Amino acid sequence: MSLLRLRDLTVHSASRELVHGVSFDLDAGQRLGLVGESGSGKSLTAMSVMGLLPPGLSAGGSVLLDGQQVIGRPDRQMVPLRGTTAAVIFQDPRSALDPLMRLGDQLAAPIRRRAARDGRRLTPAALRDSQMHWLDRVSIRDPERILRAWPHEVSGGQRQRVAIAMALACGPRLLIADEPTTALDVSTQAEVLDLLDGLVREERLALLFISHDLPVVSRIADRVIVMQNGRAVEQGDAMQIFTAPRHDYTSGLVAAAQRLQAALEDAERRP
């Protein structure tokens, strides 16, 4: 049984269908990218997996997360699955962080939750060790300062690293990353992408990576689903999709990415 199995997922608002029949499987250690332009249904697909659709929207079809049906599951029964089976990182780390709490206290919460789940007693020293461990895992160079800092006192890249540490500290088996690097500057984007790449491999997580940026997706994912207007229009090996797309829409995404790349290289060459 797959860790995540979607069959004919649909998402509707009161007036229309927004996601039309998406199906895929994802197992431990696999990395699946969802790519498509803004509004193509990537986030709604991912949020359906977490049972986190915005109010007014509902899902149909089947989403099995570790064998448990998510569609129609009451929210209080979703809580144990969030964090423990699947965790999510968003584009804007501020959505995962409380502006009124020091980062160290925020990181302590998933560490405590995991210890309680495993029936472990957590001494203050063990909590501190675990906070330092997770900050080290996300390559934070000055962990003492970060633990004491408020979210607004650190850079966007550091906030995203702390958000990644919080997501992983729960011990999930599936990580959903929804445009996790889009809000960062280009060099921080590359660093955070490399970090995620390493962590997902070392922790042997399944990854569902969402982005409008096909080159970014094909760098981190082995398999890609291309979404357009709420439908999965093409699925396949990441390299094949990038080098030999079969669908016109995917060819358009590849051509746009190549034009952008050429323009960036051109700008770099200019004195």
Ligand X SMILES: Nc1ncnc2c1ncn2[C@@H]1O[C@H](COP(=O)(O)OP(=O)(O)OP(=O)(O)O)[C@@H](O)[C@H]1O
Residues that bind ligand X (CB under 6 A): 13, 18, 36, 38-44, 54, 56-57, 212
Closer to ligand X by CB, 63 or 103: give it. Answer: 63
Contact 63, 70 (CB under 8 A): yes
> Got the DSSP string for 17-70?
EEEEEEEEEE-TT-EEEEE-STTSSHHHHHHHHHT-PPTT-EEEEEEEETTEE-
Percent helix, strand, coil in the chain, to 5, is 45, 25, 30
Closer to ligand X by CB, 3 or 35: give it. Answer: 35
Closer to ligand X by CB, 43 or 218: give it. Answer: 43
- State the nearest-atom distance from the C-beta of 226 to ligand X, in Å: 11
Vertex 3 angle, CA 193 and 119, to 5°: 90
- State the nearest-atom distance from the C-beta of 140 to ligand X, in Å: 28
Determine how many CB atoms are found less than 10 A away from the CB of residue 72.
Answer: 11
- State the nearest-atom distance from the C-beta of 167 to ligand X, in Å: 19
- State the nearest-atom distance from the C-beta of 253 to ligand X, in Å: 12
- State the nearest-atom distance from the C-beta of 151 to ligand X, in Å: 23
Closer to ligand X by CB, 57 or 132: give it. Answer: 57
The alpha carbon of 179 is separated from its chain's Cα centroid by a whole number of angstroms, namely 7
- Residue 71 has phi, psi (to 5 degrees) of -65, 125
Closer to ligand X by CB, 1 or 14: give it. Answer: 14
17's CB contacts (< 8 A; 6+ apart) are 10, 11, 230
- State the nearest-atom distance from the C-beta of 54 to ligand X, in Å: 4
Closer to ligand X by CB, 57 or 122: give it. Answer: 57
- Residue 217 has phi, psi (to 5 degrees) of -65, -45
